[in-house]
Amino acid sequence: MAATLAPAGKSYAELLVLYSDPDTCPAEALAPVPLAQEPAFVSWQQDIPRVYLEMSPEELDHRIAAARARLGSKLVILGHHYQRDEVIKYADFTGDSFKLARHAAEQEGIEYVLFCGVHFMAESADILTPEHVRVILPNMAAGCSMADMADPDDVYAAWDEIHEVLGEDARIIPVTYMNSAASLKAFVGERGGLVCTSSNADRALRWAFERGEKVFFFPDQHLGRNTGYAMGIPLDEMVLWNWRLPMGGTTPEALRKAKIILWQGHCSTHQRFTVEQIEKARREHPGVHVIVHPECRWEVVQAADSYGSTEKIAKTIREAPAGTTWAVGTEINLVNRLAKQNPDKTVFCLDPVVCPCSTMYRIHPAYVAWTLEAIVQGQVVNEVRVDPETRKWSLVALERMLELG
């Protein structure tokens, strides 16, 4: 029987505070419940036909299986590592955004991609798949707070300001993390840049430095800084651009000296990990291996034993000797899954009270059932479509990334 997520006797306002604050979010209580019982539903979620609200996990399972059987090989379901278990179990392919982008591009004969991830991932799938393939995001409210930190108009303005200081002929290559709007991918494609993921950021930066003298990197400052530092670029040659301040809060001298101009964006989920948590894990678990994601702060990555993309984290733990202990600095759904998949090792999250990625979490099985049953009935809802001009240039930037291998 499904447990309820909502503690009894709490008002709506209290629940919002409780579940919005990672210090109080009861992540261990994230068990499957009907959508109507999820506190998040009341304010964060896209409207959905009422009939889906009260469906039990078992009924949703049944309806999703029936819809999939009707759609057969016309449909592929992609699931990002950070999806909760009750959604990831429906995925034909799982992976990080890089791996899923490749899967989307490689599928033949499909008509529909149901992308259980967030909005920018569905956009990338639409760009990479043939024109007739329709990409669906089960819940349109599933965005990415980091991607939202790079508003395209702010990025365009920053690009102009940087060139005003460094000159129109300055050889600056723009590089955007996969976690960005399609319009920003198009922006970098049109200006000789490329997209990167946490799996290939080092290769993307090398590619960029073969073609230019400086890199303008957005939206995640931490991935840019950690990757640049690992390539031997000192911290004082990476300048932070705060889009809220005139001239990005920096100086012409700092811009001239910088090899990398970092956008002041971050992932709220990964920025929570701290050096103190690493020290505590080492005190309490002698011999522990600490592995973190490169969206964590620089000092956290430096203090860890190793770091890497979600794919690398999963592979490292899978291939580690039995009996080893792993403290992991990434999203809690993935860490919990790694713990289950590696019963011969001890795997735990560096931050025991960390919340799931709140935007990924907006994909509930009810949305999967709704969007699939709509397709069966001949109606596509929640389609993510990138306009032709944006598609053209973002495809250039994505193909440059895919060619990195």
CB of 141 to ligand SF4, least distance (A): 13
- x/- binding map, residues 335-364, to ligand SF4, per CB under 6 A? ----------------------x-xx----
CB 307 within 8 A of CB 301: yes
For 154, the token pair is: 């702010």
CB of 259 to ligand SF4, least distance (A): 24
Stretch near ligand SF4 under the rule CB under 6 A, chosen from 66-74, 141-149, 300-308, 383-391: 141-149
CB 97 within 8 A of CB 356: no
d(CA 327, CA 305): 10
The reply to whether 371 sits in an annotated binding site is no
**Which residues, listed in sequence order, are joined to residue 216 by a DSSP beta bridge?**
174, 261
CB of 202 to ligand SF4, least distance (A): 18
145 binds ligand SF4 (CB under 6 A): yes
CB of 146 to ligand SF4, least distance (A): 4
- x/- binding map, residues 99-138, to ligand SF4, per CB under 6 A? -------------------x--------------------
List Cβ neighbours of 364 (8 Å cut-off, separation of 6 or more).
35, 38, 41, 45, 87, 139
The reply to whether 82 sits in an annotated binding site is no
CB 185 within 8 A of CB 127: yes
273: left (phi over 0), alpha (psi -120 to 50) or beta: beta
Q: In what order do the strands lie in the sheet with 214-218?
A: 194-196, 172-177, 214-218, 260-263, 238-241
Stretch near ligand SF4 under the rule CB under 6 A, chosen from 140-148, 239-247, 275-283, 375-383: 140-148
CB 189 within 8 A of CB 160: no
Residue with Cβ nearer ligand SF4 (94 or 179): 179
331 binds ligand SF4 (CB under 6 A): yes
- x/- binding map, residues 154-183, to ligand SF4, per CB under 6 A? -------------------------x----
Integer CA distances (angstroms), 124 to 101, 374, 388, in order: 7, 23, 13
Residue with Cβ nearer ligand SF4 (360 or 397): 360
d(CA 107, CA 105): 6
d(CA 215, CA 239): 11
CB of 60 to ligand SF4, least distance (A): 23
The reply to whether 355 sits in an annotated binding site is no
Rounded to 5 degrees, what angle do the CA atoms 301, 270, 212 make? 65
Residue with Cβ nearer ligand SF4 (75 or 118): 118
Residue with Cβ nearer ligand SF4 (250 or 309): 309
Residue with Cβ nearer ligand SF4 (359 or 382): 359
The reply to whether 309 sits in an annotated binding site is no
The reply to whether 97 sits in an annotated binding site is yes
CB of 79 to ligand SF4, least distance (A): 13
The reply to whether 55 sits in an annotated binding site is no
CB of 235 to ligand SF4, least distance (A): 22
Q: Residue ranges of the alpha helices (H) in 72-220?
A: 85-88, 97-106, 119-128, 145-148, 152-166, 182-190, 201-211
d(CA 329, CA 73): 37
Residue with Cβ nearer ligand SF4 (277 or 309): 309
188 binds ligand SF4 (CB under 6 A): no
The reply to whether 179 sits in an annotated binding site is yes
Contact pick of 60, 78, 137, 144 for ligand SF4 (by CB under 6 A): 144
* N-to-C CA span, the chain: 45
The reply to whether 382 sits in an annotated binding site is no
DSSP E strands in 35-87: the ranges are 75-80
- x/- binding map, residues 248-277, to ligand SF4, per CB under 6 A? -------------------xxx--------
Backbone angles phi and psi of 289, in degrees to 5:
-100, 130
233 binds ligand SF4 (CB under 6 A): no
Residues in the chain: 405
CB 79 within 8 A of CB 87: yes
Binding residues vs ligand SF4 (CB under 6 A): 82, 118, 144-146, 179, 267-269, 331, 357, 359-360
Which parts are annotated binding residues for iminosuccinate?
80, 97, 177-179, 198, 293-295, 310
Which parts are annotated binding residues?
80, 97, 144, 177-179, 198, 267, 293-295, 310, 357
